[in-house]
Amino acid sequence: MEVPPSVKFHKDLHLFVWKPRGILDEAAVNKVLVDLLRYESRASQPFNRFSDLSEVQDFHLTFKYVFHVALHRRLAYAGREPVKSVFFVTHSEAAQLVKIHAIMTDRSPLKVEMFEDRAAAARSLGVPIESLIMAEAC
């Protein structure tokens, strides 16, 4: 399977890492969700997710879109084993969008957490911090 440059999958850690850059819009989120579904369909067990939003300069996402994506994710994970979806944020707009997602997925198997510190995110996921860092060439 071809891996997009913004995605890294650590099979041994059961971890999907995504680091978008530039403008984050609906097309980019839809694309990563398709990639995520491909990994899920091939995985032998559930895996956690880490989204590094630190290099997104502008968010072109509406409340309505984030609400619908989060609601869809909540319904899609009903009855599944719990997985963590951890976000690394460095600015307030990212934090607001992640909070919407977290509220909509509360009390579901998708456990959304947000961190402003990469090391804390790694601890929460139980992985080495190096596994969360994407190469600059991506």
Q: Give the per-residue pLDDT at 2.
A: 58
Q: Is the pLDDT of residue 32 over 80?
A: yes
- 87, 53 Cβ separation under 8 angstroms: yes
pLDDT tens-digit readout, 103-112:
999 999 999 9
Cβ-proximal residues to 26 (8 Å cutoff; 6+ apart), any chain: 60, 61, 65
Task: Calculate mean pLDDT across residues 56-63.
Answer: 96
In DSSP notation, 28-80 reads HHHHHHHHHHHHHHH-SS--EEEEE-TTEEEEE--HHHHHHHHHHHHHHTTTS
Tokens linked to 66: 């984030």
In CATH terms, the fold of domain 7-132 is Transcription Regulator spoIIAA (3.30.750)
Return d(Cα 113, Cα 120) in angstroms, integer.
11
**pLDDT at residue 58 tops 80:** yes
Distance CA(54)–CA(103), nearest Å, equals 21
- Which pLDDT score, from 0 to 100, does residue 98 have? 97
> Could you state, in order of their start, the residue ranges of all structural domains in the chain?
7-132
Provide mean pLDDT across the span 113-127: 98
State residue 44's pLDDT score.
87
The structure's pTM equals 0.92
Q: What's the pLDDT at 137?
A: 37
Residue 51 has pLDDT above 90, yes or no: yes
